[in-house]
Structure 1
Amino acid sequence: MAFSLDGKLVVAISSRALFNFEEENQIFEATDDSAYMQLQLERIDQAAKPGVAYPLVKKLLGFNQGKQQMVEVVILSRNDPVSGLRVFRSAKSVGLAIERGVFTRGRPPYHYLKSLQANLFLSANADDVRATLDAGFPAAMVFPQSKQIAESNPDEIRIAFDGDAVLFSDEAEQVFQSKGLDAFVAHESKKVEIPLPPGPFKPLLEALHRLQNATKQDNRPMRIRTALVTARSAPAHERAIRTLMAWGVTVDEAMFLGGLAKKDFLKEFQPDFFFDDQLGHCELASDVAPTGQVLSGIANQIKK
């Protein structure tokens, strides 16, 4: 019987997001892919150090027990196939059960996300993240130097999301950016009962919600905990909550911070990953937790 990805949580991840290839990447950027390939080949038996998404991947694979495989992690990389050998060997050396990978030698890899039925793509390449989001898949640019908290909460995956331009569209954010806070509050109060349009990470939240419910039913040791961490405050909080209710999904925690620094609250929540669209928030958050920037919405429009 052919292998199927149906019903699984599928995470596609680049080599640099899973392992620390920053030194090798400097060689690539300073020379060409031939020198990079040679270096990776020379180090083929040298296991790469964990990258920013390594702890998350390790925990995700912990959901797979016996024949019931609920999570699939796939390497999706601009690396060449030869360099891919080191990626697979590094994964095997640390006990990561990763069996599938696509290596495109410099070409954008996002075309394969549909075939992979991916719920998330993590990459250190901004162009690939933008192309993935444009294609309609959740994606984030990882901060390779983010603090890793691999030993925290070993039996629970914690994911934190910003709201506008991440879980929700940037409809309200556009009002805030163009007309200010008072106009934003008035806009959200007027539309409080109208669900916000979905943002790029709605599909991931839905997939996590399904996995969360499944683990509760069969008493698996791994658990999922989600949080909404947003600059919204009352009364703009209500539309966000009503939107999640309309979607039929829940988050375990919601933090309506009204301009308070997210970093301090993330330090307490201890997420395995935090997703935000704003560069400043991501830079601060990366000091306390693995962080990915969602390059969508008005805050990430490329100025011409």
Structure 2
Amino acid sequence: MPKFTLEDKLVVAISSRALFDFEEENRVFETGDLSQYEALQRSRLETSAKPGVAFGLIRKLLALNAHEQRVEVVILSRSDPISGLRAFHSCREHGLAIERGVFTRGRSPFAYLKPLRASLFLSANPDDVRAALAAGFPAARVLPETPRAASRYADEIRIAFDGDAVLFSDEAERVFQSDGLRAFVGHEIDKRNLPLPGGPLKPLLEALNKLQRIADDNESPSPMHIRTALVTARSAPAHERAIRTLMAWDIEIDEAMFLGGLDKGEFLREFEPDFFFDDQIRHCESARVVTATGHVLSGIANAS
């Protein structure tokens, strides 16, 4: 058997609760009675779980493997190994080609992101997400809300990103928080030709860009196209530094929305992303009624 490697793949590590609707089981888990939780999962080993928050995104990402395996999805869970049987059973029932998993029975699993070379970690556990971000891995806390499928775009993976503290560092956001809007705008005008440092999800956007370029160059057309969007509270003239930063990184983005404080939810409703990432919980709360949403627990907005 040839040696399997993750070197050239986009690896998504996802908790079982982010992939499937295990909210009822999680309420038992959070009581601290691990034996009761495990007994509940054992009683449901043959019962397929319903799709969870990130299910739609994962299903579409796996569709990129139609001609060549470019995406690897690994379940990374605090559940015990026997409860993991139910997660794998649910994958089979829903037709998800997921073969690998790590189950840590109550302990934080984030340390396994390193050998997995994860490009993204999705979990409903905020402590695991913070630890992953602190270790330098793109990560977000999924908000447990029933996701809506992007019905008009079955052949596209649509992902939307906030800018500051998500794709970019929180350098400019710190100026805004400390000195206000006028200082922020002046800071960004003065530094418009200086690329912003990368934020926690820059590696994910880079990986998505690489996947799309490979698909575009491939003689066999991919059944799935990747479309990305920047959805930011920035507005002109502070927009320029954001665009020039992406240019300096040689990263292409398909749509950019500079909303200047307008509610993001209405614009996301039109874009219909399979997933949206933002560092500010108020924007996440606005987005979660529209689409699956991940709270990126980084930057000054999450310092406390």
Normalized against structure 1, the TM-score is what?
0.97
Matched, 1:29 2:25: no
Residue aligned with 2:209, SS: helix
| Post-superposition offset of 1:28 | 1.2
Matches within 5 A, 1:17-96: 17-66=18-67, 68-96=68-96
What's 1:173 paired with? 173
Superposition misfits of 4+ residues, deviation over 6 angstroms: none
CA deviation vs aligned residue, 1:72-131 (integer Å, no higher than 9, x gap) = 000011111011000000101111000000011111111111110110000000000000
- Identify the match of residue 269 of structure 1 among 258, 271, 274: 271
Partners of 1:40 and 1:76 in 2: CA distance: 17
Q: For residue 106 of structure 2, give the secondary structure of its aligned residue in structure 1.
A: coil
Which digits, 9 at most, give the CA deviation of each residue in 1:199-224, with x for residues without a partner? 00000000000001111122212100
**Counterpart position of 1:106:** 106
Deviation at 1:30, TM superposition (A): 2.3
Instruction: Confirm or deny: 8 A CA contact 1:146 1:291 kept in the other structure.
Output: no
More displaced 10-residue stretch of structure 1: 1-10 or 268-277:
1-10
Q: Is the 8 A contact 1:146 1:288 kept in 2?
A: no
Match for residue 11 of structure 1?
12
**Match in the other structure for 2:260:** 258
CA offset digits 1:115-168 (Å, max 9, x no partner): 101100000000000000000000000011143225341110000000000000
Q: Helix, strand or coil: the match of 2:226?
A: strand
What amino acid does structure 2 have at the position aligned with 1:122? L
* CA–CA distance in structure 2, aligned partners of residues 242 and 150 of structure 1: 30
Query: 1:27: how far off?
Result: 1.0
In structure 1, the partner of 2:301 is: 299
Unaligned runs of 5+ in 1: none
The answer as to 2:250 corresponding to 1:235 is no
Q: How many residues align?
A: 301
Separation in structure 2 between the aligned mates of residue 65 and residue 221 of structure 1, nearest angstrom: 7
Question: Which position in structure 2 is the counterpart of 1:185?
Answer: 185
- The one-letter code sitting in structure 2 at the alignment partner of 1:37 is E
Q: What 5-or-longer segments of structure 2 have no aligned partner?
A: none
User: Counterpart of 1:129?
Assistant: 129
CA drift of 1:49 comes to 0.4
Q: Which moves more between the two structures, 13-22 or 103-112? A: 103-112
CA distance in 2, matches of 1:301, 1:31: 28
**1:220 partner amino acid:** S
Contact 2:150-2:273 at 8 Å conserved across structures:
no
Worse-superposed segment, 69-78 or 143-152: 143-152
Bigger drift between 27-36 and 87-96 goes to 27-36
Measure, in 2, the Cα distance between the counterparts of 1:248 and 1:65.
Answer: 27
Amino acid at match of 1:128: D
Determine the C-alpha separation between the residues in 2 that align with 1:294 and 1:46.
Answer: 32
Cα deviation, residue 31, structure 1? 4.4
Q: Which residue of 2 aligns with 1:246?
A: 248
1:134-145 aligned at under 5 Å gives the runs 134-145=134-145
Counterpart CA distance in 2 for 1:171 and 1:61 is 35
The answer as to 2:298 corresponding to 1:289 is no
Retained in 1: the 8 A contact 2:17–2:23?
yes
Aligned residue type for 1:34: S
Cα distance change of structure 1 residues 257 and 51 upon mapping to structure 2, 3 Å threshold: same
Write the distance in 2 (CA, Å) between the matches of 1:107 and 1:285: 30
CA distance in 2, matches of 1:166, 1:208: 15
